[in-house]
């Protein structure tokens, strides 16, 4: 279940937009210009089921997203979807992993407090007993050069 | 019939005798003839695995994927509280404060240890560095990685965190850590091969109870481990998937 963002959770001046997400769900997003730097040496790890519902997160995921674990488990992964991310990027992600192939890209993720953080993300299908059981997503610290390229490129992809 | 046990060549040299003691203890407990064969390097060990000479192995996470997917190995146990972490360090006089400030062309001293190499290279990515634009300086041991830094033959060294921490204080005083990984979920595992699979439950039970046995506890201490815990198939599959995402 994905709820609209609440002003009391947001820190700083925010903008408001309603995003159409996977599965025909709409969500009111409140987002700020406040970036949280990716911590050195850490990996953010999560797994989802085949429908993109979160089944596992590690401590770094919790810390960077700003949610508590109970709010994340059972939520769709699009809880992190930032309005600056072009839908084409996620279409490419799903098209790629549905072919059983790894996907990699640079992603601007939304935090619970309306802020954001950039990651280099890799998503891999979890093949169990010959079939896809879900997906594992691992994020690592991106290079600033690549992030700057994405900041220029992504607005042109809407 | 004698079975063969081996240990990933990236173990800390201080623990060589510990592994021989472990093997003797395990043979006695399991009533099995097990020969411990220590290989000098990854190449020789992989050759032995390739020709199906290995039945039991304390494997690094990089090799675990190959052992499960290609050789039919199953996970048994891992040491409680232990994980594989890497350190990126420079000479203390190096003015670089952040990986992001390293330049293409830097000389990176590494060992053959595949998962540490991988984790170290991931930590260099924020500096736009990868295999295509750094000069790799291969070293046989982590002490030699440190020496390359001290002699200014390398700009950056990639270490297994445990090996870095075990360096002498005199060496560590001349080095500076740029990044220490905090990944937590990548670890070595004791794994069992097809010829020994019928002993899986038996050996697993012996090992998870090892710390309750007086002699067993001493053997664990000689390896610097507290106790073993079970690694189930799904945990191993998860780690293999995770390693897979990191090799890209």
Contacts of B244 in chain A (CB under 8 A): 102, 124
Q: Which of A69-73, B138-142, B239-243 has the highest mean pLDDT?
A: A69-73
Computed from CA positions of residues B15, B21, B27, B29, in that sequence, does the dihedral angle turn out positive or negative?
Answer: negative
CB atoms within 10 A of CB B41: 13
Q: How far is A68 from chain B (nearest CA, A)?
A: 19
Checking if the pLDDT of B248 tops 80, the result is no
* Alpha-carbon gap, residue B65 to B239, rounded angstroms: 8
Question: Is A102 within 8 Å of chain B by CB?
Answer: yes
Contacts of B246 in chain A (CB under 8 A): 43, 122, 138, 140
- At A80 the pLDDT is 97
A-contacting residues of B 12-71, CB under 8 Å? none
The DSSP code for A35 is B
* Alpha-carbon gap, residue A52 to A46, rounded angstroms: 11
Contact A136 B246 (CB under 8 A): no
pLDDT band at B229 (very low <50, low <70, confident <90, very high): very high
- Least CB-CB distance to B185: which of A58, A102, A143? A58
Computed from CA positions of residues B2, B4, B5, B9, in that sequence, does the dihedral angle turn out positive or negative?
Answer: positive
Contact A102 B248 (CB under 8 A): yes
* Alpha-carbon gap, residue B93 to B66, rounded angstroms: 41
- At B199 the pLDDT is 97
* Alpha-carbon gap, residue B52 to B181, rounded angstroms: 34
Question: Is A132 within 8 Å of chain B by CB?
Answer: no
- Among all residues of chain A, which has the CA nearest to that of B126? A143
* Alpha-carbon gap, residue B163 to B13, rounded angstroms: 9
- Please compute the mean of the pLDDT values over residues A58-78 and round it to a whole number: 96
Contacts of A126 in chain B (CB under 8 A): 237-238, 241
Checking if the pLDDT of A89 tops 80, the result is yes
- Among all residues of chain B, which has the CA nearest to that of A141? B126
* Alpha-carbon gap, residue A145 to B8, rounded angstroms: 37
For residue range B69-98, what is the model confidence (pLDDT) as tens digits? 999 999 999 999 999 999 999 999 999 999
* Alpha-carbon gap, residue A122 to A104, rounded angstroms: 4
Q: How far is A123 from chain B (nearest CA, A)?
A: 7
| Residue A59 Rama label (left phi>0; alpha psi -120 to 50; beta) | alpha
- Among all residues of chain B, which has the CA nearest to that of A37? B126
Contact A47 B238 (CB under 8 A): yes
B30 contacts B198 by C-beta, under 8 angstroms: no
- At B142 the pLDDT is 92
* Alpha-carbon gap, residue A134 to B230, rounded angstroms: 23
Q: pTM for the full model?
A: 0.91
Checking if the pLDDT of B163 tops 80, the result is yes
Q: How far is CA A125 from CA A80, A111, A140, B238, in A?
A: 19, 25, 18, 11
Residue of B111, B88, B122 whose CA lies nearest to B40:
B111
B121: CB partners within 8 A, 6+ apart: B129, B130, B131, B158
- Please compute the mean of the pLDDT values over residues A36-61 and round it to a whole number: 95
* ipTM of the complex, rounded to two decimals: 0.90
Contact B179 A143 (CB under 8 A): no
Mean pLDDT of chain A: 94
- At A2 the pLDDT is 86
The sheet that has A103-110: what strands, in order across it? A54-57, A44-48, A131-140, A116-128, A103-110
H or E segment to which residue B147 belongs:
helix B142-150
* Alpha-carbon gap, residue A18 to A26, rounded angstroms: 7
- At B222 the pLDDT is 93
Contact B99 A124 (CB under 8 A): no
pLDDT band at B67 (very low <50, low <70, confident <90, very high): very high
Checking if the pLDDT of B1 tops 80, the result is no
For residue range A97-122, what is the model confidence (pLDDT) as tens digits? 988 899 999 999 999 999 999 999 99
A116 contacts A36 by C-beta, under 8 angstroms: yes
For residue range B108-160, what is the model confidence (pLDDT) as tens digits? 999 988 889 999 999 999 999 999 999 999 998 899 999 999 999 999 999 99
B176 contacts B94 by C-beta, under 8 angstroms: yes
Mean pLDDT of chain B: 94
Question: Is B170 within 8 Å of chain A by CB?
Answer: no
- Least CB-CB distance to A143: which of B126, B182, B183? B126
Question: Is B244 within 8 Å of chain A by CB?
Answer: yes
Question: Is B177 within 8 Å of chain A by CB?
Answer: no
- At A25 the pLDDT is 86
Computed from CA positions of residues B239, B128, B162, B153, in that sequence, does the dihedral angle turn out positive or negative?
Answer: positive
- At A36 the pLDDT is 98
Contact B245 A138 (CB under 8 A): yes
- A61: exposed, middle or buried (C-beta count within 10 Å: 0-12, 13-18, 19+)? buried
- Listing DSSP states for B24-85 in one string gives HHHHHHHT-EEEE---SSHHHHHHHHHTT--SEEEE-HHHHHHHHHHH--EEEEEETT----
pLDDT band at A1 (very low <50, low <70, confident <90, very high): confident
């Amino acid at each position: 279940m994905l709820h609209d963002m609440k002003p009391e959770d947001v820190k700083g001046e925010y903008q408001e937009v309603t995003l159409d997400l996977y599965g025909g769900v709409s969500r009111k997003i409140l987002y700020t210009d406040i970036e949280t730097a990716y911590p050195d040496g850490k990996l953010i790890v999560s797994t989802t089921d085949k429908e993109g519902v979160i089944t596992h997160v590690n401590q770094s995921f919790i810390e960077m997203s700003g949610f508590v674990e109970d709010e994340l488990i059972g939520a769709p992964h699009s809880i992190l979807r930032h309005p600056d991310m072009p839908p084409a990027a996620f279409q490419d992600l799903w098209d790629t992993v549905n072919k059983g192939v790894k996907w990699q890209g640079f992603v601007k993720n939304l935090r619970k407090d309306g802020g954001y953080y950039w990651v280099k993300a890799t998503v891999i299908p979890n093949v169990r007993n010959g079939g896809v059981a879900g997906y594992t997503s691992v994020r690592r610290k991106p290079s600033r050069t690549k992030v700057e390229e994405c900041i220029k490129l992504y607005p042109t992809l809407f | 019939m004698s079975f063969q046990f081996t240990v990933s060549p990236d173990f800390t040299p201080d623990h060589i005798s510990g592994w021989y003691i472990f093997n003797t203890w395990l043979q006695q407990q399991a009533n099995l003839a097990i020969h411990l064969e220590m290989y000098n390097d990854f190449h020789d060990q992989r050759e032995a695995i390739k020709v199906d000479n290995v039945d039991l192995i304390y494997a690094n996470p990089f090799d675990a994927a190959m052992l499960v997917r290609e050789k039919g190995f199953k996970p048994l146990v891992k040491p409680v509280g232990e994980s594989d972490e890497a350190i990126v360090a420079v000479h203390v006089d190096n003015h670089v404060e952040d990986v992001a400030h390293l330049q293409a062309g830097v000389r990176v001293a590494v060992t053959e240890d595949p998962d540490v190499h991988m984790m170290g290279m991931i930590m260099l990515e924020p500096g736009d560095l990868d295999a295509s634009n750094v000069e790799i300086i291969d070293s046989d041991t982590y002490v030699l990685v440190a020496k390359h830094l001290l002699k200014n033959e390398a700009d950056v060294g990639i270490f297994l965190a445990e090996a870095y921490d075990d360096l002498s204080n005199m060496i560590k005083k001349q080095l500076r850590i740029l990044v220490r990984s905090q990944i937590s979920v990548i670890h070595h595992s004791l794994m069992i091969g097809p010829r020994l699979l019928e002993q899986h439950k038996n050996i697993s039970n012996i090992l998870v109870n090892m710390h309750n046995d007086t002699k067993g506890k001493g053997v664990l201490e000689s390896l610097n481990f507290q106790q073993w815990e079970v690694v189930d198939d799904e945990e191993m599959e998860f780690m293999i998937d995770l390693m897979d995402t990191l090799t890209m």
